[in-house]
Structure 1
């Protein structure tokens, strides 16, 4: 099941990137965000390297719960990416950049989080590590991934603040960056 979710997730990322293609015209681009992407990828890589411990194949209660958690995180990752990319529409990009016609998106997952795609990637990393039995690797992988996410979100937030001013600043005050408020 996790392999199927991985294929769906990877396909969504690739198709979304291809649909956006290379953009022409004037846009403000901040290449420093790529450092954050690289650090995020290192975090995800750290969660998945090493021998696989397939304890999910048994029918023990722990394995069944683990499989359910993997499916929950995997489906959450796919849904968050799909819903976020759809809400962003033409604003979605791997690069941190502002188009001349950029809009401040506050619909869909962006009504609850400023950076829901990064939460989706965290969910994917957790599903990957749990499916592979790499629980201890998460001790290092999660902080590395979050460090990359902080780098990336600071650059994106700065670009959005420069572009939208008080409107974005109000959005930032009312909407958490990565983890939704409970209650």
Structure 2
């Protein structure tokens, strides 16, 4: 049963997340904000096909997630929507590199990682199922937060024209629920794997997201001033 989680369920959750994330970036880069609901069935069909194709070769999930991540990151850089302020590509590269490293460590075959493949938890179906549940919840939270953010979302740090400060839904209690969701999913996957590489991946991702989130907050504080300061009083950074 634990092998089923590691080889099928966990890869399925991450592939679904990666496919959604990439298609959402494609959609947002190609249409106007007022047309954000058009072609829904087309994107669902493409997403379903991409999911089935990637799941078929799920034993290479690290490489698949990296390719998808770089693709949606490129879309964010070349997007045509008007922006008032944005981070440079050079400042974004360390975050991309860190997340690539995190997913390689999390999903690469243990035999290639030496001591990182040693276990920090004993084999336990209870722990593995708890980890799978956390992974599913984390993916759900990240997608919910992304959908809720709507046209304000961007893969890179930027302030759009007509940018609004979202303070409801998942953003009522969390300032960065997308990152919180991804970190929760990585934590769950680390529990399923039970190996030190999962904790290393979590530490790398936590560091990368923390740096990026602080950069985002500097942009938001400069744009919204006291409104953002008030929001930060009631909404936690990564935890409620």
Task: Provide TM-score, normalisation by structure 1.
Answer: 0.83
Task: Provide TM-score, normalisation by structure 2.
Answer: 0.65
Instruction: Show CA shifts across 1:88-125 (max 9, x none).
Output: 10011111111011110011111110001111111222
User: Aligned pair 1:44/2:107, yes or no?
Assistant: no
Alpha-carbon distance in 2 for matches of 1:51, 1:176: 35
Give the deviation of 1:134 after TM superposition.
Answer: 4.7
Instruction: Show CA shifts across 1:21-64 (max 9, x none).
Output: 123323311133443343233233322233288xxxxxxxx643
Higher relative contact order (CA 8 A, sep 6+): 1
Give the deviation of 1:74 after TM superposition.
Answer: 2.0
- What is the correspondence of 1:1-183 to structure 2 with a 5 Å cutoff? 1-21=9-29, 22-31=79-88, 32-51=91-110, 63-131=124-192, 133-180=193-240
User: Counterpart of 1:28 in 2: which secondary structure?
Assistant: strand
Task: Answer whether contact 2:84 2:161 (CA < 8 A) is retained.
Answer: yes
Instruction: Name the larger-Rg structure.
Output: 2
Give the deviation of 1:137 after TM superposition.
Answer: 1.7
The number of equivalent residue pairs is: 173
Gaps of 5+ in 1: 54-61
User: Counterpart of 2:196 in 1: which secondary structure?
Assistant: coil
User: Counterpart of 1:98 in 2: which secondary structure?
Assistant: strand
RMSD across aligned C-alpha pairs, in angstroms?
A: 2.3
